[in-house]
Amino acid sequence: MTLRESDSGLASIAAAFDLPGRICGLEPLGNGNVNDSFLVVCEGPPLRRFVLQKLNRKVFVRPELVMANMIAIGEHVDGRLTQGCALLAERRWELPRVLHCREQGLPWVEREGGFWRMITFIETSRSFDVVAGADQAREVGFGLGLFHHLISDLSPDRLADTLEGFHVTPRYLEHYDAALAETPVVAGSDVQYCRAFIEERRGFASVLEAARASGHLRLRPIHGDPKVNNVMMDVASGQAVALVDLDTVKPGLIHYDIGDCLRSCCNPLGEETRDLQAVHFDLDLCREVLGGYLAAASGFLTDADYEHLYAAIRLISFELGLRFFTDHLAGNVYFRTEHPDHNLQRAQVQFRLTESIEAQEHQIHAVINELRSAVAGRC
Ligand code: GN1
Ligand code: MG
């Protein structure tokens, strides 16, 4: 891998961090919708890889707090791992490490208004945009469960709320109403479908926030974005080895995470598909993801947590569709897009997925109850 001339600006930002060797490779990484990511390779032996990211300051208005959360989580998990964890007896588990800047010693670099950070790459691992099968689905669920388990004793007060309103569905409805009020009337059956879809589910949007307000569900530390491609899988064993993309770590409801993981894993066509009619929620994958999750996380789940699982799965799919559709109305200002109707297409994928979830409500409840009984039987 060689460093191209055009990357010299990037290379100088990368070189400001305390890397272990000369940079010999730098290329775009992944397909995030919000931040810019690059893979940085350092000369060896052995070759070492890192991830350079430019945080989107419109989304993360206090990026230094994002870094503080990331460091707090890392220190907490390190402490837990030092004490030993039975779930990790036969598996590797890592967190991306934050590198500091050589000169100021800060865990970030600011250049021309940009906020940059460098973290370690999880070696000999890879991620997938769609789940490849039952075993992998179980591993993704286990990875999220393990992540939650390892931070379940970290007080949410130790984390900053870096994205106020993130996953608070009624807030997204308010944004939607505001965007709609500003939008000239648009004809078009796709837009009409989305508008009608949202209207029919307005009342449901507050289900998790109402449970939080009444004390049924409580705030805990969450990942915030545990979609399938944020779970790194060991290349050799296929086991989950890390959750990455820790920008959205903050206090929240673990139901946001569980719902997000399931809406992502159980959509076999992926969130970018154009084949709207074929979008569906795969119940078998749901059983695997939730089974994997509970194998690691059942120890801290309450009855109320179980009782809100179905609502979480339905809500987070709906919410992501609502977010994409609102951004479409607002002129694609939040999510990165490749064509003008990209967010409209993504919204419809999530709404189709929500419909499929609703059509399988009884079966999903049955899976939850079956897994819950199995957990109770093991206790
Ligand atoms: C955004 O940028 P990325 O892909 O990691 C978004 C998530 C959405 C996701 C949908 C901070 O994540 O909430 O689920 O797109 N992140 C933020 O692909 O809004
Ligand atoms: Mg993310």
Kind of pairing between the strands at 240-243 and 23-28: unpaired
Instruction: Count other C-beta atoms under 10 Å from residue 173's C-beta.
Output: 18
Q: Tokens representing 379?
A: 């206790």
pLDDT above 90 covers what percent of the chain? 90
Kind of pairing between the strands at 220-222 and 125-126: unpaired
83 in Cβ contact with 150 (< 8 Å): no
d(CA 320, CA 326): 10
Rounded to the nearest whole angstrom, what is the distance from the C-alpha of residue 84 to the centroid of ligand 1? 32
| CA 324, 222, 158, 69 torsion-angle sign | negative
d(CA 213, CA 202): 18
pTM for this predicted structure:
0.95
pLDDT confidence of 348, banded at 50, 70, 90? very high
Residue of 60, 225, 245, 267 best suited for mutating to test ligand 1, as the one with most atoms within 8 Å of CB: 225
Mean pLDDT confidence for 46-74: 96
pLDDT confidence of 378, banded at 50, 70, 90? confident
pLDDT at site 84: 87
319 in Cβ contact with 357 (< 8 Å): no
pLDDT above 70 covers what percent of the chain? 98
Residue 45, preceding peptide bond in cis (omega within 30° of 0): yes
Q: Tokens representing 270?
A: 């992926």
pLDDT at site 31: 83
pLDDT at site 379: 64
Q: Tokens representing 143?
A: 């990875």
The set of protein residues with a Cβ atom below 6 angstroms from ligand 1 is 32-34, 59, 225, 227, 245, 248, 271, 320
Rounded to the nearest whole angstrom, what is the distance from the C-alpha of residue 225 to the centroid of ligand 1? 6
What are the counts of helices (DSSP H) followed by strands (DSSP E) for the chain?
12, 10
Rounded to the nearest whole angstrom, what is the distance from the C-alpha of residue 52 to the centroid of ligand 2? 14
Average pLDDT, the chain: 94
Sequence-distant (6+) residues with CB within 8 A of 78 are: 95
pLDDT at site 30: 86
Domains and CATH numbers, the chain: 5-121 (3.30.200.20), 126-378 (3.90.1200.10)
Mean pLDDT confidence for 140-159: 97
pLDDT at site 207: 98
User: pLDDT tens, 75-104?
Assistant: 999 999 999 888 888 899 999 999 999 988
Sequence-distant (6+) residues with CB within 8 A of 105 are: none
Rounded to the nearest whole angstrom, what is the distance from the C-alpha of residue 118 to the centroid of ligand 2? 16
* Backbone torsions φ then ψ of 27, nearest 5 degrees: -150, 155
* Nearest CA, atom 13, ligand 1: 225
d(CA 120, CA 334): 27
* Nearest CA, atom 5, ligand 1: 32
